[in-house]
Structure 1
Amino acid sequence: MKKRLAGMVLALASIVAAGAAQAGADAETDVSELNRQALIAVRGGNLPKLRDLLEHGASVDTRNRFGDSLLMTAIKSGSPDAVNALMARRPDVNLANTSQVTPLMAAAFTGNVDAARMLLERRADPAAADRLHKTAMVYAAATGHAAIVALLLDAGVDVNARYENDLTALMWAAGGGHADTVRLLLARGADGALADNRGKTALQIATDNRHAEADELLRTGGAMK
């Protein structure tokens, strides 16, 4: 009788364990589906759906196959409401994708000033670099987003910092012909005499690329004639 009872107990324990394992697998599947739907909602700008999915267990830090988080996707999609909703959930603001691009870099590249400001307030790392060794400052200066360049300088980024190939933010701005950004950088102390690894200064880079306004600004130290 005791052996029979013991066998029944073991059998019951096995059933319970199997049930728990299945329940865990089902829960994992459910969360995975919620995360997938959340990515779709962000891409489609469906804010009510996104909020509902987050309320029901979708992870705010879920990522797609390229490593883009929900926050990164919202920034790239230009959806300020989605960015605000996600930031309220305290996401990992330094979560990089497979190319090591962070949300701050994405905001700098797209010119999303509000997102960049919020990210910096939440301690996003302005010094982080992607696989091509570009930082948020490089992206902002190269694309001419002067307001974000100003935010990064206010956050402590050195105006004369050297990046890949000894390029400075001023050189990146000059190369793109972004006069407003060149003017801002000069006003904030950018050194126009610095040269890259080819020996070219920001002025020479602007001249080579036929950016007349940036060229003039660099010749006059930021004050147009």
Structure 2
Amino acid sequence: MPKDVLRSVLAALVLLFIAPVQAQQGVGNININGQLVLAARAGLVQRVKQLIAEGAEVNSRDRNGDSPLKMAAGKANVELVDVLLAASADVQQANIAGVTPLMAAAFAGSPEIVRKLLAAGARPEAVDRVKKNAAVYAAGQGCTECLELLLQAGTPVNGRLDHELTLLMWTAGYGQEGAARMLLQRGADASLRDDRGKTAAEIARELNYTALAQMLAP
């Protein structure tokens, strides 16, 4: 057999044996991180602890970009959030839609997690891909305590969001009387109008939230 042919055969044999080993190592790394994501999604606190101890990347993400911390916050799993924060999870890591753990906690109506994330450095001014911040999620869900915390963290009560909407208008759009009352007490301006020229009261009235519309009438 010519030497050049022999060398080609030997090279092919080496690749044949090495490639599966490299692939197996890669799959192993993917698997432990994938297991962490699955465990976090299922809320398995002890399993998450174990996988992190074994070297799983705490900021691993699923195909939607959701991290374990975002999943835990979205399910109001305080114990799991504590474990992930202790492992230095990125509090600002957003998913593909731009939703951060803080937004997820606000949507879940969990002031305890909102407080923990803010203390860990989560930024309340961050917005997702449709220009909503954590306070908008809290306003829409009527989580008054979440809103209080976000206002204390620097969210302006009359801040203008996409389409010139205010937090008060978001509460009006979802019929959240308690949250609207708290915002008014904190200085929300009911006379402001969105880019359609509508006030919070008019938004509430159009959606048949009659009592809320009367409360919001400037």
User: What interval of TM-score do these two structures reach, taking the shorter chain for normalisation?
Assistant: 0.7 to 0.9
Q: Percent identity?
A: 41
Structure 2: runs of 5+ lacking an equivalent = 1-13
TM-aligned CA deviation for residue 51 of structure 1: 0.7
Distance between the aligned counterparts of 2:25 and 2:80, measured in 1? 26
Structure 1: runs of 5+ lacking an equivalent = 1-14
TM-aligned CA deviation for residue 128 of structure 1: 0.9
What amino acid maps onto 2:28 in structure 1? Answer: D
The root-mean-square deviation of aligned C-alpha atoms, in Å, is: 2.0
Find the residue that maps to 2:91 and give its secondary structure. coil
Tell me if the contact between 1:31 and 1:57 (Cα under 8 Å) persists in the aligned partners.
no
* TM-score (normalizing by structure 2): 0.86
TM alignment of 1:120-199, pairs within 5 A: 120-199=118-197
Tell me if the contact between 2:76 and 2:105 (Cα under 8 Å) persists in the aligned partners.
no
- Out of 194, 199, 202, the position equivalent to 1:201 is 199
- Out of 27, 52, 55, the position equivalent to 1:57 is 55
* TM-score (normalizing by structure 1): 0.84
Tell me if the contact between 1:101 and 1:129 (Cα under 8 Å) persists in the aligned partners.
yes
What amino acid maps onto 1:162 in structure 2? Answer: R
Which residue does the alignment assign to 1:211?
209
Q: Indicate yes or no: 2:91 matched with 1:96.
A: no
Q: Indicate yes or no: 2:121 matched with 1:109.
A: no
Deviates more, 1:209-218 or 1:143-152: 209-218
TM-aligned CA deviation for residue 24 of structure 1: 7.1
Distance between the aligned counterparts of 2:113 and 2:21, measured in 1? 39
Which residue does the alignment assign to 2:8?
none
Which residue does the alignment assign to 2:28?
30
TM-aligned CA deviation for residue 52 of structure 1: 0.5
TM-aligned CA deviation for residue 40 of structure 1: 1.3
TM-aligned CA deviation for residue 26 of structure 1: 5.1
